[in-house]
């Protein structure tokens, strides 16, 4: 019995692999080496360099490693890029996802944990957002994830595929060994810490006239370890015969961009220069999760409910890995 983790060389996928290995579970990684980092791979874990949509490869990995469940992280996740290059997003996130599901089911694997997103809700009509909130994505990235959710529901009904689709709010933080390294980096916390470390001259704040207490956007930051714990619980839920579910993952607390910057000043003890810039198109003012269902259905408890602890773990990782995973970082087949 092993878990197939797609995107195991990426930010969240690499933490998932670390957590499953620490729990003594068998894991196998499939990653196409396009956006992950070789340094994020765990050398003790079998790794296949290939497309998740390669049905024959997926089926042969499942048979060889006795895979009984898949956690699917491998996807493109830049909102802005999805607007300018939608075909990349529908091809990678939907068409490749369909191939993955075919490959899994042809090998008899019918347990699936899916990385979904609060971007499937679009502009919120009420906050906090629970799972029954209307889904109306405002960009192709959000649509690509919502299409996958609909495909999963249909496959559950028709083929008995059981899945847990986890709708992430803002993943952040690091473990000792694994952290966040994107190129280009668009996320707030790594950018703020890069400014604290002097690797960026300043941090841009996108918009200061939102209808929030300080005018900057409010987000719900969730530690990557807590996020992965929910996936481990989702696997247990499915292996225990649980039904398919859609579940939000967030802390239920919102922090503004300025509060994140203030927290980073405190944690790092460094100056952080701020420049106000125009709002990014499509950024909602407030995204905060109602994560009651994750606690009730999965028994999920978070270890890092406070922003300060989340930022501290990210800072410790950046201090220990000033170049992230380095510049030769693209994953290659092992």
Which residues are designated catalytic?
141
Residue 256 engages ligand UDP in binding (rule: CB under 6 A): no
Q: Which of 105, 107, 152, 188 binds ligand UDP (CB under 6 A)?
A: 188
Residue pair 39/6 in contact (Cβ under 8 Å)? The answer is no
Residue sitting closest to ligand UDP (CB) = 217
Residue 191 engages ligand UDP in binding (rule: CB under 6 A): yes
Distance, CA of 173 to CA of 40 (rounded, Å): 15
User: 269: Cβ–Cβ under 8 A, 6 or more apart, which residues?
Assistant: none
Q: State the DSSP code for 38.
A: G
Placement of tokens 């396009």 in the chain: 34
Residue 61 engages ligand UDP in binding (rule: CB under 6 A): no
User: Using H for helix, E for strand and C for coil, what is the string for 185-204?
Assistant: CCCHHHHHHHHHCCCCCCEE
Is 53 or 252 the residue whose CB approaches ligand UDP more closely? 252
CB of 95 to ligand UDP, least distance (A): 23
Residue pair 218/289 in contact (Cβ under 8 Å)? The answer is no
Among residues 130, 1, 16, the alpha carbon closest in space to that of 72 is found at 16
Residue 170 engages ligand UDP in binding (rule: CB under 6 A): yes
Residue 332 engages ligand UDP in binding (rule: CB under 6 A): no
Provide the mask over 287-326, with x wherever binding to ligand UDP is found by CB under 6 A and - wherever it is not: ----------------------------------------
CB of 10 to ligand UDP, least distance (A): 15
Helices 140-159 + 96-106 axis angle, to 10: 20
CB of 169 to ligand UDP, least distance (A): 8
Rule CB under 6 A: which residues touch ligand UDP? 170, 186-188, 191, 203-206, 217, 219, 257, 280, 283
């Amino acid at each position: 019995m092993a878990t197939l983790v797609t995107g195991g060389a990426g930010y969240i996928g690499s933490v998932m692999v670390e957590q499953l290995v620490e729990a003594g579970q068998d894991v196998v990684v499939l990653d196409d080496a396009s956006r992950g980092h070789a340094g994020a791979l765990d050398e003790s874990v079998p790794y296949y360099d290939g497309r998740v949509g390669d049905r024959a490869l997926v089926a042969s990995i499942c048979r060889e490693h006795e895979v009984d469940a898949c956690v699917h992280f491998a996807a493109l996740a830049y909102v802005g890029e999805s607007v300018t290059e939608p075909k990349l997003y529908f091809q990678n996130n939907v068409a490749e996802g369909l191939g993955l599901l075919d490959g899994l089911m042809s090998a008899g694997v019918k347990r699936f944990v899916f990385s979904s997103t609060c971007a499937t809700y679009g502009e919120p009509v009420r906050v906090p957002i629970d799972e029954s909130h209307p889904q109306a994505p405002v960009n192709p990235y959000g649509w690509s994830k919502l299409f996958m959710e609909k495909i999963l529901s249909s496959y559950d009904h028709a083929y008995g595929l059981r899945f847990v689709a986890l709708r992430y709010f803002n993943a952040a933080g690091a473990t000792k060994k694994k952290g966040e390294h994107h190129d280009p980096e668009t996320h707030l916390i790594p950018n703020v810490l890069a400014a604290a470390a002097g690797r960026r001259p300043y941090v841009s704040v996108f918009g200061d006239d939102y209808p929030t207490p300080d005018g900057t956007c409010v987000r719900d930051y969730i530690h990557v370890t807590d996020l992965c714990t929910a996936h481990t619980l989702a696997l247990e839920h499915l292996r225990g015969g649980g039904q398919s579910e859609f579940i939000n993952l967030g802390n239920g607390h919102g922090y503004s961009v300025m509060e994140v910057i203030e927290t980073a000043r405190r944690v790092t003890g460094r100056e952080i220069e701020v420049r106000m810039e125009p709002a990014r198109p499509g950024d909602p003012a407030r995204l905060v999760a109602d994560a009651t269902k994750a606690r009730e259905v999965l028994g999920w408890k978070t270890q890092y409910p406070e922003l300060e602890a989340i930022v501290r773990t990210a800072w410790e990782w950046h201090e220990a890995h000033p170049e992230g995973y380095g510049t030769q970082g693209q994953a290659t087949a092992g």
